[in-house]
Amino acid sequence: MLPCALSSSGPWCESAPSRARWEFRWRETSTVQASGTRRRGPGRNTVAHRLPLSILVGLLACAIPLSAAAQVEYIDPAGGFTQVVTTTNAGVKTIFVSGQVGQGDTLREHVESAFAGVVRRLEQAGATSGDVVKIRIFIKDFEPAQYPTIAEVRLATFPDENQWPASTMIGVRELAVDSLRVEIEAIAVVAESGVDLDIERFSPSNGFSGAVAVTAHGVKTVYVAGQVGPGDGVAEQTAAVWGRVAQRLDAAGASVADLVKATTYIVDFDPETDLPAYRAGREQALDLDDMPASTLLGIPALAAEQYRVEIDGIAVVGADGNAVDREFIDPATGFTQVVTTRGTGPKVVQVSGQVGRPGDSLENQADQVYGNLRRRLEAAGAEPEDLLKTVIYMPEYARGDFAVVDAARKAHGFPDDRVPAATLLGIQSLFANGALLEIEGIAVVEQ
């Protein structure tokens, strides 16, 4: 097996037969301090301006507290994405680990080495497996009979029940390179000594938690594991699953009204029949004035054959008497294009999956997607360099497609020196036949 990564020309591998672990192109770490302050204007879509460097230096000389700015760190840029991106606010660091892939002759070996890759990346960022709050596991050619193997390795990676993360596991059609079978991404949170950070884990089961709540600086963020439920057909299962999501949030001290991002996975999704059924089930379960940012994906398999629908999510709520300011920007049918939250620290921007025009070429759709992504960020008062994490979904992914997508990224002014953590997945389908690309993202911006 050859260690592989994504580059601007597509996936690449280099021979390293004497090493048992993946090696990537760069080893340097770059750190970026927020370069200015954003002020909220009279309209919620107003884009603020960064302060000139000379003014910023003067302000720093006047002893602006460190908590006024978020520090962003890029660890191991790998050509078109960064292996780990961290953002630190007042001593609390959130760590985004790009999808890590495995190697070996068996599925177990692939899962073990992928988890080992996640742990190594966490260590680079000053964290351990015990600091992980959310993982997503993607298995190529997954069959439900393989789930016990995956669960065993997950439990070995997270042996302490008090440190089990929220988890979602789905089958996918393709990964970046044909030989890959497993990819795992993660979010972790750590705090400096003396800084208050509370992590609560709810409904533990078989190596993962049903929800994990992270409270820091008066803001509670709840990560909900992938939920499934009973029912005949997509509509019934959707309603049941949203009910389970509500239960997990309630246990963690939040509600569906606090959701800022949801991802829905539907097995063998047919846009013509399953999209109306999904909407009917969602409307039955949810009665919200403001809907979360959202991504809907067609996938080949879930953990058990009887399930067709799985949903995970992120909610944000004020804690310890503090308020959270939310903005729901560009609402659409059943979801919002962008949801922002801000407590006492930087603004966090959740961007729904952005798509292009179904039926167009991949080049055109990639151009449209990155154009849309940039507009969504700007509507939230963010800029391309504020983007810290992306996930790229492609139904007809083939080797070489990443180069097309990355060219569109560059064409729309997304910088090469501050490239987000990323995961690229070949899935089964998107919201419409002929849709070839969808990209969602998380940005953090000071204003």
316: CATH: 3.30.1330.40
Q: Is residue 188 part of a domain?
A: no
Final residue of a structural domain among 294, 319, 339: 339
Q: Is residue 260 part of a domain?
A: yes
Q: Is residue 59 part of a domain?
A: no
Instruction: Based on the fold, state whether residues 334 and 349 are members of the same structural domain.
Output: no
Final residue of a structural domain among 311, 339, 367: 339
Instruction: Based on the fold, state whether residues 314 and 262 are members of the same structural domain.
Output: yes
Confidence band for 167, pLDDT divided at 50, 70 and 90: very high
Q: Is residue 362 part of a domain?
A: yes
Range with the poorest average pLDDT among 38-42, 338-342, 364-368, 395-399: 38-42
Instruction: Based on the fold, state whether residues 236 and 331 are members of the same structural domain.
Output: yes
Q: Identify whether the C-beta of residue 110 lies closer than 8 Å to the C-beta of residue 118.
A: no
**Percentage of the chain lying above the pLDDT 70 cut:** 84
Range with the poorest average pLDDT among 73-77, 94-98, 212-216, 443-447: 443-447
Instruction: Based on the fold, state whether residues 364 and 281 are members of the same structural domain.
Output: no
Integer Cα distance of 61 and 203 in angstroms = 48
Instruction: Based on the fold, state whether residues 362 and 274 are members of the same structural domain.
Output: no
Instruction: Based on the fold, state whether residues 359 and 334 are members of the same structural domain.
Output: no
Q: In terms of residue numbers, what domain contains 443?
A: 345-447
Instruction: Based on the fold, state whether residues 422 and 311 are members of the same structural domain.
Output: no
Q: How far is CA 429 from CA 74, 138, 204, 267, 356, in A?
A: 32, 15, 32, 10, 14
**Percentage of the chain lying above the pLDDT 90 cut:** 82
Has residue 37 got a pLDDT over 80? no
Q: What is the pLDDT of residue 66?
A: 32
Instruction: Based on the fold, state whether residues 378 and 295 are members of the same structural domain.
Output: no
Q: What is the pLDDT of residue 70?
A: 74
Q: Is residue 19 part of a domain?
A: no
Mean pLDDT of the 294-318 span = 98
Instruction: Based on the fold, state whether residues 236 and 299 are members of the same structural domain.
Output: yes
Mean pLDDT of the 123-145 span = 98
Q: What is the pLDDT of residue 21?
A: 33
Has residue 8 got a pLDDT over 90? no
Instruction: Based on the fold, state whether residues 239 and 326 are members of the same structural domain.
Output: yes
Give me the number of domains the chain comprises: 2
Confidence band for 440, pLDDT divided at 50, 70 and 90: very high
Instruction: Based on the fold, state whether residues 301 and 354 are members of the same structural domain.
Output: no
Q: Is residue 376 part of a domain?
A: yes
Q: What is the pLDDT of residue 79?
A: 83
Instruction: Based on the fold, state whether residues 290 and 349 are members of the same structural domain.
Output: no
Q: Is residue 257 part of a domain?
A: yes
Final residue of a structural domain among 286, 307, 339: 339
Q: Is residue 36 part of a domain?
A: no
